Amino acid sequence: MTNEIIFYTQLSSIVLFVCTLFFLYRVLVSQKDATIQLLKEKNSFIERQLVEASKFSPDALAKSLSDRVRLLNEEIVRLAKDKENNQEKINNKEKELDEIRKEGEELSRKISKAHELMQEFFCPTCGEAMAERGYESESVDYQGQELDVEHEYVLYKCGLMVVDGEEIRECAGLGARP
């Protein structure tokens, strides 16, 4: 073989290597871009859900019920003046008032239950939201047998990390839970 053939062979190998490396880099970058786009879409979806949820917040519902109770009480007082003529209307309004009070009590129970259910999604120290929850598997040899053990990890936005109920990293939150 001549030096010229060896030179061109090496040159083509280097060019092929660089092209392959560039192709792999482009694939990696496109995957990263797709992941970023997916996270942006997920973030906008969650923001839309938050806006929707705020429209039906417990405070707005409680205020609405409170206003309805106040109006019905005022109407009952007005109708009580004409008691003889409006006894049936008074009874109907009192029933309506009782139903609204029951709705208010049910709403209070639901709010309490929602607060109880939401506790695990916020840092117990500072109240920051949960950033990530996941599970990781680990293979362990125990008495000659291989066992698969799953570990739950929870990461909060404030930096608190809990693995299998054990605090691994402390909360970096500034204030105490409101």
6 is written with which tokens? 């060896």
Task: For strands 145-156 and 161-163, give the pairing.
Answer: antiparallel
**Lowest mean pLDDT across 3-7, 21-25, 46-50, 83-87:** 83-87
Residue with the larger pLDDT of the pair 26 and 158: 26
How many helices (H) and strands (E) the chain has is answered by 3, 4
Distance CA 65, CA 107 (A): 10
Half-sphere exposure of 139 (CA within 13 A, CB side): 3
By C-alpha distance, which of 169, 127, 133 is closest to 154? 133
Mean pLDDT over 43-56 rounds to: 83
Tell the residue number behind the tokens 């047998």, with chain if given. Answer: 145
Banded pLDDT at 21 (limits 50, 70, 90): very high
> pTM of the predicted model, to two decimals?
0.41
**CB neighbour class for 156 (10 Å; exposed up to 12, middle 13-18, buried from 19):** buried
The rounded Cα 35 to chain-centroid distance in angstroms is 19
171: Cβ–Cβ under 8 A, 6 or more apart, which residues? 123, 125, 126, 128, 156, 158, 159, 160
Please say whether the dihedral angle defined by the alpha carbons of residues 150, 170, 49 and 35, taken in this order, is positive or negative: negative
pLDDT per residue as tens digits for the range 113-155: 887 777 778 888 887 888 888 888 888 888 888 887 888 888 8
* Amino acid code (one letter) for 164: D
Kindly tell me if the per-residue pLDDT of 38 is higher than 70: yes
